[in-house]
């Protein structure tokens, strides 16, 4: 079950090797994104896109805010 | 959006999925490092906004608010609670007419605010369209982050200094 986390937990998990995924559209990702985040827009999130991620590492997803 | 993405990843067999619910706005709000488009026209409100903004409590007098805002040459003063959440705003027009009243009595409740990652171009258009001289900038949970003034949008359409993004 996915867990909600805050900023401090994000920073801690990144240090532990977590993968960051921005799920906003590409244009918004290009404007600004978290360091080393990759972009998989929600509408494109399928098995093929998910193959970019490693299953043995934690994954953190984020978008704009609480939307 | 991110909750659906998190659940989708779980359905695709990922065991450790986390949702940073406060998202990009929260990250930006705390000035943490980011990677960004380097085009000159991609400046955002957070790059140019004024961060040192005087505030008022609900029970403070308009006279005090006026003095505080004028020291910073600001045309408005946000009214916030102890958590820094914006409850209202007192404008120049209001403090000039109602000096003896309190912020709560004269403030405009629930003012429109901008998010820090709105582009300077869009923010400028918004100010012009609504004939505003300044607007508050808040995070997604309503906390005051700064104020964006028309002069900032008119004269400084440029990228931020590097120390802002460290």
Which residue in A18, A32, A42 is closest to B4 by CB distance?
A: A42
Residue A34 has a pLDDT of 96
Q: Which residue has the tokens 């300077």?
A: B120
DSSP designation for B143: B
User: Which 3 state secondary structure label does DSSP give B141?
Assistant: coil
What average pLDDT is seen over chain B? 86
Look at B34-38, B102-106, B133-137 and tell me which has the smallest mean pLDDT: B34-38
Domain boundary assignment for chain B: 1-35, 39-159
DSSP designation for B98: -
Tell me, yes or no, whether A40 lies in a domain.
Answer: yes
Q: Which positions in chain A touch B9 (Cβ < 8 Å)? A: 2, 21, 45, 50, 53, 59, 61
Residue A66 has a pLDDT of 67
B83-122 tens-digit pLDDT: 999 999 999 988 888 788 999 999 999 999 998 888 898 8
B44 has a pLDDT exceeding 60? yes
B68 contacts B77 by C-beta, under 8 angstroms: yes
CATH number for the domain that contains residue A30 = 3.40.250.10
Tell me, yes or no, whether A33 lies in a domain.
Answer: yes
Distance of CA B56 to the CA centre of its chain: 16
Tell me, yes or no, whether A16 lies in a domain.
Answer: yes
User: Which 3 state secondary structure label does DSSP give A15?
Assistant: helix
- With residue B158 as reference, give the H or E element that holds it: none
Note whether B9 contacts A65, CB cutoff 8 Å.
Answer: no
Fold of B39-159: CBS-domain (3.10.580)
Tell me, yes or no, whether A34 lies in a domain.
Answer: yes
Distance from CA of B26 to the nearest CA of A (A): 7
Tell me, yes or no, whether A48 lies in a domain.
Answer: yes
Q: Which positions in chain B touch A35 (Cβ < 8 Å)? A: 33-35
Residue B154 has a pLDDT of 61
Residue B40 has a pLDDT of 66
B161 has a pLDDT exceeding 80? no
B147-160 tens-digit pLDDT: 999 866 665 443 33
Quote the number of domains for chain A: 1
User: Which among B27, B33, B42, B116 is the top mutation candidate for probing chain A, defined by the most A β-carbons within 10 Å of its own β-carbon?
Assistant: B27
B66-71 long-range contacts, CB within 8 A, separation 24+: B66/B95, B66/B96, B66/B99, B69/B95
Which residue in B23, B32, B36 is closest to A62 by CB distance?
A: B23
Tell me, yes or no, whether A67 lies in a domain.
Answer: no
> Distance (Å, rounded) from C-alpha B118 to C-alpha B52?
19
Select the more confidently predicted residue: B24 or B166.
Answer: B24
Could you give the percent of chain A with pLDDT greater than 70?
97
B99 contacts B62 by C-beta, under 8 angstroms: yes
A15-44 tens-digit pLDDT: 999 999 999 999 889 988 999 999 999 999
| Full residue range of the structural domain in which residue A48 is found | 7-62
């Amino acid at each position: 079950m996915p867990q909600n986390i805050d900023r401090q937990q994000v920073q801690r998990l990144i240090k532990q090797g977590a993968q960051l995924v921005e799920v906003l559209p590409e244009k918004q990702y290009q404007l600004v994104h978290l360091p080393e985040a990759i972009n998989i827009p929600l509408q494109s999130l399928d098995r093929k896109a998910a193959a970019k991620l490693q299953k043995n590492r934690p994954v953190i997803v984020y978008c704009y805010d609480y939307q | 959006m991110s909750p659906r993405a998190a659940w989708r990843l779980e359905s695709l067999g990922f065991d450790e999925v986390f949702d940073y619910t406060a998202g990009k706005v929260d990250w930006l709000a705390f000035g943490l490092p980011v990677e960004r488009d380097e085009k000159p026209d991609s400046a955002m409100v957070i790059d140019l906004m004024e961060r040192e903004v005087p505030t008022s409590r609900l029970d403070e007098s308009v006279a005090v608010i006026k003095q505080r805002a004028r020291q910073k040459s600001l045309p408005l003063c946000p009214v916030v609670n102890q958590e820094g959440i914006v409850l209202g705003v007192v404008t120049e027009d209001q403090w000039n007419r109602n000096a003896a009243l309190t912020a709560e009595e004269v403030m405009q409740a629930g003012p429109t605010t901008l998010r820090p990652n709105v582009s300077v171009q869009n923010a400028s258009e918004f100010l012009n369209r609504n004939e505003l001289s300044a607007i508050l900038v808040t995070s997604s949970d309503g906390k005051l982050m700064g104020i964006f003034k028309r002069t900032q949008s008119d004269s400084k359409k440029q990228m931020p200094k590097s120390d802002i993004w460290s």
